[in-house]
Amino acid sequence: AQSVTQLDSHVSVSEGTPVLLRCNYSSSYSPSLFWYVQHPNKGLQLLLKYTSAATLVKGINGFEAEFKKSETSFHLTKPSAHMSDAAEYFCVVSEAGTALIFGKGTTLSVSS
Amino acid sequence: GAGVSQSPRYKVAKRGQDVALRCDPISGHVSLFWYQQALGQGPEFLTYFQNEAQLDKSGLPSDRFFAERPEGSVSTLKIQRTQQEDSAVYLCASSPDRGPGGYTFGSGTRLTVV
């Protein structure tokens, strides 16, 4: 069965410093992996997706993630945090090509 | 429309009441999904439609939950005899094909059962 584990429930960074949100997955097959962001009272927005092409995936707003099969990881990074990045981030796996399986989320706080 | 539209935005129901939540997907999108997001949790899959066919309803938590998409466009999620544990945000997403890569989520309906 497929699953996702987000290793940190809360990450706090200062504006201008790097962001690292960690995600490990479990999948029997070649998975598709995604990162979504959810701002308060807003809908889920796709940041980036991995679907078995390049292992380093670039997304919107300067975010990127690297698929590492040997480590079953798909960590999300950004070189320099901005105040507007404060939100809830979800790592997501899809194996069957239909339903998405979400992690429990990581709350990113950015201080000035 | 330009995005996935869900209504109502907020719903308060008394325990035991029936509710109906509406989802208007992006025009022409074949696939439609419903998810339930409890407070402080990630969304959990409820059910999936391809056009008017409900292909997967394995995530529906009980037989009090029912979803339909009779004309392959608008979908309604109905919850009968609501319970407090049904309180959550219900999210709808649509996709132009069968794959998950093209999902667009609506803003959700926040259901509170009192």
CA distances (Å), B10 to each of A72, B38, B91, in order?
38, 14, 12
pLDDT in the model for residue A98: 66
Give mean pLDDT, residues B91-110. Answer: 86
Confidence tier at B99 by pLDDT (50, 70, 90): low
Map tokens 């938590």 to a residue. B61
Q: What is the mean pLDDT of chain A?
A: 92
Structurally, at CATH architecture level, domain B5-113 sits in: Sandwich (2.60)
Give the E-state strand segments of chain A in sequence order. 3-6, 10-14, 19-21, 23-26, 32-38, 44-50, 56-58, 64-68, 73-78, 87-94, 101-102, 106-111
Give mean pLDDT, residues B56-68. Answer: 96
Find the chain A residues whose C-beta atoms sit closer than 8 A to any C-beta of B.
32, 34, 41-46, 49, 51, 90, 94, 97-105
Give mean pLDDT, residues B73-99. Answer: 94
Determine what percent of chain B is predicted with pLDDT higher than 70: 96
- Pairing type for strands B75-79 and B88-95 reads unpaired
Determine what percent of chain A is predicted with pLDDT higher than 90: 75
Are B4 and A34 inside 8 Å of each other by CB? Answer: no
Which residue among A34, A43, A100 sits closest to B106, beta carbon to beta carbon? A43
Give mean pLDDT, residues B38-60. Answer: 94
Question: Does domain A3-111 correspond to CATH entry 1.10.490.20?
Answer: no
| Tens-place pLDDT, residues A20-63 | 999 999 987 778 899 999 998 788 999 999 987 788 999 999 99
Å between B100 CA and nearest CA of chain A = 5
| Tens-place pLDDT, residues B8-39 | 999 999 999 999 999 999 999 999 999 999 99
Q: Which of A83-87, A94-98, B29-33 has the lowest mean pLDDT?
A: A94-98
When scoring B26, B31, B37 by the number of chain A Cβ atoms within 10 A, the one with the most, hence best to mutate, is: B37
Q: Which residues contact A34 (CB under 8 A, 6 or more apart)?
A: A46, A47, A48, A49, A50, A91, A92, A93, A94, A100, B100, B101
Which residue among B4, B41, B101 sits closest to A104, beta carbon to beta carbon? B41
Domain residue ranges of chain A, discontinuous segments joined by +: 3-111
Q: Is A97's pLDDT higher than 70?
A: no
Q: What is the mean pLDDT of chain B?
A: 94
Are A41 and B55 inside 8 Å of each other by CB? Answer: no
Taking contacts as CB-CB distances below 8 angstroms, the residues of chain A near B98 are 97-98
